[in-house]
Structure 1
């Protein structure tokens, strides 16, 4: 204790002097310390914010990947299940249909595969002929009809190749061409031509079209 008292007595005035100097200088030093603290915070704040944003984005990506993987697995499972059920249903339906067709044709004593194929080919060819007439043939025939009417001609023939000709004495003169003319489906074409007020008749290989009264 005596040594402590002597030490305090020895440095008493030094402590008082130091405290007084600090008291007088503190108003000038506080702004300096505050500036250091503010600069430190201004430098650290962007780094902290950037680190927080990066961490948040990474966590969101991880959650999104997990949810996507889960949904893909669920969709794949559902698709496989529905596909399996659909395939089984289609297979069962096809087997039942084949058995029904076979039994029916056996009773009727016909050839199902051959007749079905021929009917399918015929209906497909007729559909193509109707499409051709509606999309291209009708307009071309009407244009040719108007062109011939101006010269007093009210009939012309169409060859299997689609070549349109008019009779001139003992010869024929070519007046037009119908591309992709369905020569094997003239029956269905005749029906549509009659609806458009054009008389059509098949003579040999040629389809003859006429309308109104021909000028003499």
Structure 2
């Protein structure tokens, strides 16, 4: 009787040890089942379909991160395109003037305010969008002013001299800012010219030609003298 009792006790202790180890392992181990095949225990079915399943662990959730909202995905794609324009030398004022919706103007303002590469900025904009969606679900939509539009209006007011006592008198600060923008545009055009002379693939040459044309248009629209 003692050997049988010893064997039974050994089986019981082995089973308990396997259950404890199986429940303490993270990730994949928690998703496995435990089978008794005669006097042994294993994490796969017994040969020939014999044996008994002792424990079934539920599969852990693959990810607790909610899927991206479709609107946030679209906003991220829009941001990525605008980052390309920014890196190509397009000015924020021009991008704001070409934006057709308040959301596009907001994306422009965010892109020019953030630092980092295209992927980092896109992910930050998508993350902020998801945070806004979550806040709307909890507290409801909130009315917000179009900050980019207000910024654009303020820039126009500074250029046209609205609410100024003497609109005919030039603003030295505005003139200096404009001159700095003109100098930057000229540097970009010279750099693109040099890149075109250096040559490259057909795609590179086409991109450089488009960027040069856009920069020259911005130079003209800003009223810079050649």
**TM-score normalised to structure 1 length:** 0.22
Q: Which has the higher strand share?
A: 1
Larger C-alpha radius of gyration, 1 or 2?
A: 1
**TM-score normalised to structure 2 length:** 0.21
